[in-house]
Amino acid sequence: MMLHEIYMQRCLDIARRGLRSAAPNPSVGAVLVYKNKIIAEGFTSPYGGAHAEVNCINNVKEEDKNLISKSSLYVSLEPCSHFGKTPPCSKLIIKNKIPRVIIATRDPNPLVAGNGIAELKNHGIDVIESVLEDKAREQNKRFFCLFTKKRPYIILKWAQTKQALFSPNSNEQFWITNKRTKALVHQWRSEEMAILVGEKTVLADKPRLNVRLVKGENPVRIVINTDKELDTNLPIFNGEIPSWIYSKFKGTNKENLEFIPIKNADNVLDEILKDLYERQISSLIVEGGAFTLAKFIEQGLWDEARILIGEKELKEGIAAPKIKGKLCEEFQISGDLIQVYKNE
């Protein structure tokens, strides 16, 4: 691995720590290097806080302050050049007279989109681009999706038997996977901003859609409600977590509960995704049921699918959704097979 790639990999490694807390902003890693030695590093603070470059420069020890203007700054995303919740990082770099900046990838935000790089170059700073670019874009795929597709990054997830059955014909709750796999699902939930199910899943499984088997932040709970008015005694209405009900029926908004009217029942998904984009929800995990998952698949509204194939069997039942995509990962957890597909 070349030297630039080594330091950029470090940027990506530390950026992982802020992926969920920084959302919908990207989590960026920054490393300041003087004569092949890291003198400071930093990553993006929780949403609304300081960016990676700011934290990195602020983390330089007092005895090393004089080295800043002689060092190279590695950063996994183009420094911002506009005033948002924080001042532009490009101006901070210029102010500190950092002579060279190495960047993984450009920022897709139209307010930046090369402007940060141009500003650095206009002030005589040597800029090197596209170091581990693919890795950087993959790490912040949710952020990139929000700006390029104008919708959240969509992850479909379901469990099925080896015979590709989704649930019993009665649609009653039936656990296909084991406890360790269930904990993994909760970990996945904690990594995304929102989780969505259809009303049939709410009625059949009475899910809480929270993170309780791992430490992490609960996603916003989303329900599509088009067929009949839901009983507000269901767990989804318990008020513990922000819950948004996209519904054809009127409801009373309360703390952590919002009813959002569906205006076009024939184009529900596009309507919901547009609203989520406007609310800056950068990622969405869709957990069912079979009908809802099939609608996302039919309309090509997915970026990733995570299929959990359990050891439990059903003699008959509802067929699992079928998907076409690139199998990019496969692993086992105590007998359960996990497959991850990407929509190419």
Nearest-CA neighbor of 73 among 123, 11, 137, 138?
Answer: 11
Determine contact, residues 76/69, Cβ cutoff 8 Å.
no
Pairing of strands 194-198, 283-288: parallel
Range 207-233 burial, b when 16+ CB lie within 10 A, else e? bebbbebeebebbbbbbbbeeeebeee
Pairing of strands 29-34, 72-75: antiparallel
Q: Which residue among 53, 119, 287, 304 is the active-site one?
A: 53
Phi, psi of 194 (to 5 degrees): -145, 155
Greatest CA span in the chain, whole angstroms?
72
C-alpha 57/C-alpha 67 separation (Å) is: 11
Please list the residues that pair with 128 across neighbouring strands. 102
Residue with tokens 């999706």: 145
C-alpha torsion sign, points 234, 238, 242, 246 = positive
Q: Is 53 a catalytic site residue?
A: yes
C-alpha 325/C-alpha 121 separation (Å) is: 41
Q: Which two tokens stand for residue 71?
A: 């060092």
Catalytic residues: 53
